[in-house]
Amino acid sequence: MIGESNWIVEGSFDRPLTIPYVSNGSASLNAQFSVSELLKGKSSTTLSYANGLLGPTIRANTGETVNVSLQNSLSEETNIHWHGLILPENMDGHPRDVASPGGSLNYSLPVIQRAGTYWYHPHPHGLTAKQVFLGLAGMFIINDAEESALNLPSGEFEIPVIIQDKHFEGNNLEYSPNDDEIMTGYLGEQILVNGQHAPFVNVASRWYRLRVLNGSTARVYNLGLTGGANLIVIGSDGGLLRTPETVSNIMLGPGERLDVLIDFSDLAVGKEIYLVSNKFSEFNVQGRQAFSLLKFKVDREGTSDFTLPSTLSNISALSESLSVKTRTIDIAQTIGGEGGHGGMGRHSINGKIFEMDRVDETVSAGTTEIWEFDNLAGDEIHPMHIHGVQFQVLERMGARNKVIASEKGWKDTILLMPGEKVRVIMTFPNYTGVFVFHCHNLEHEDDGMMLNYKII
Ligand code: C2O
Ligand code: CU
Ligand code: CU
């Protein structure tokens, strides 16, 4: 299918959206095969953490410790990485820390950071993409006092939206990227939200909050609403922005999160609008088609006393003068070394492919550095992610040539389109040890586009 300009198969948007169940604080997860209705009226075999769809949404408050047990009921290794969380080395889900088939792991996660929409997924090297694609992923939401004071829409008015594209053979998911699909990323024809193809959700005419996660292995979305409605971006990977940003379109790469408000107040009962992905490129196979993901049906009058605050959060900008070192990270080369674990090893970082025990960069705890991800000469899309830290985006050069609305706060994953270079700044935490950074196109990651860095 790759190369064709219209490949997304839209459904009928007549199935009510499923909301993953919430686990407050600690959780027991069991990575297992299960059966789910991903496509309307059909049963598919999937992977799940909880006998059903995906995994529970784990919720915690800043200052708490969350305990999670993981049982591995698969026939291969697995583990969990807590994407966006700042954790001790042995809790981060480095690919060397895995549970064997039939084995288990216990995670004790001290929550020391601000409110935000984080997530979790497997990270065994060479198997990450497949396990995420088949269904292992969940949200991890942190709340804190600063955010609660804003009185944002909550409860049934706060909707998790996990977006993933899937490829089916018959009724079942099929994960079998060929060489070309390892280059572009594995792109599916059906877009699922919370594990369901083409769902709808009934809404009241009032404000809603959507916590959006791009949990796809490789697909980028250019999100917007139909009917001229705007998205009001209030947060991204690492929590709230300083001020709300109103946009008609916003790009979201694999691994990134978007916290948005939508005001349905002026819509009459009976009105329907869609969350869509708009075209973003004529040249890239991914960007040529617009398609719908989720339908909102206004089915009742709403009341709400919510008013959009003009200030959301106090974020102080990390000054470039604090930086003790600038590193250039070359991600544009597509001919790597010897052959990666999961693929051909054609994706590299600084000319190297992942090796479990080699330390590639060494940084000092508590110091601030600037990293420049350089895709200026590249012709592929690379969403770059750093474990164990949150960063701020200083500048994007080349192609889009600007920092977009969702990049004005804290980030852990940054989208680089072909011909772009992005500079980010971060202060490393006091957790010493070895962490990874990698491309969050999971086909690229499994192909070896990942390195170790050590905090000393
Ligand atoms: Cu969400 Cu190492 O990744
Ligand atoms: Cu991560
Ligand atoms: Cu990549």
Q: Note the pLDDT tens digit of each residue in 113-166.
A: 999 999 999 999 999 999 999 999 999 999 999 999 999 999 999 999 999 999
Q: Which residues contact 15 (CB under 8 A, 6 or more apart)?
A: 40, 196, 197, 198, 199, 200
- Whether the pTM exceeds 0.95: the reply is yes
What one-character-per-residue DSSP string does 46-111 give? EEESSSSSS-PEEEEETT-EEEEEEEE-SSS-B--EEET----GGGS--TTS-BPTT-EEEEEEE-
| Average pLDDT value for the chain | 95
155-301 to CATH, choices 2.102.10.10, 3.10.20.600, 2.60.40.420, 3.60.21.10? 2.60.40.420
Same fold, 17-144 and 155-301: yes
Domain 17-144 superfamily per CATH: Cupredoxins -  blue copper proteins (2.60.40.420)
% of the chain residues with pLDDT over 90: 91
% of the chain residues with pLDDT over 70: 96
Tens of pLDDT, residue by residue over 222-256, are 999 999 899 999 999 999 999 999 999 999 999 99
The finding on whether 81 has its CB within 6 A of some atom of ligand 1 is: yes
The pLDDT confidence band at residue 342, using thresholds 50, 70 and 90, is very low
Q: Average pLDDT of 180-197?
A: 94
Amino acid at 132: V
Give the pLDDT of residue 339. Answer: 46
φ and ψ at 297, to 5 degrees? Answer: -115, 115
The radius of gyration of the chain's CA atoms, rounded to the nearest angstrom, is 20
The finding on whether 385 has its CB within 6 A of some atom of ligand 1 is: yes
Amino acid at 401: N
Q: What is the distance between the alpha carbons of residues 115 and 150, in angstroms, rounded to a whole number?
A: 12
Q: Separation of 43 CA from ligand 2 center, angstroms?
A: 31
Q: Is the model's pLDDT at 7 over the cut of 90?
A: no
Question: Which ligand is closest in space to the CA of residue 82?
Answer: 2
| Fold of the 320-455 domain | Immunoglobulin-like (2.60.40)
Burial 240-268 (b: 16+ CB within 10 A, else e): bbebbbebebbbbbbbbbbbbbbbbeebe
Q: What is the distance between the alpha carbons of residues 348 and 334, in angstroms, rounded to a whole number?
A: 6
The finding on whether 126 has its CB within 6 A of some atom of ligand 1 is: no
Query: In a 3-state reduction of DSSP, which class is residue 248?
Result: coil
The finding on whether 438 has its CB within 6 A of some atom of ligand 1 is: yes
Amino acid at 189: E
Instruction: Give residue limits of the domains in the chain.
Output: 17-144, 155-301, 320-455
Q: Separation of 94 CA from ligand 2 center, angstroms?
A: 9
Q: Separation of 96 CA from ligand 1 center, angstroms?
A: 14
Q: Order of strands, edge to edge, in the sheet holding 420-427?
A: 323-330, 368-375, 420-427, 392-398
The finding on whether 444 has its CB within 6 A of some atom of ligand 1 is: no
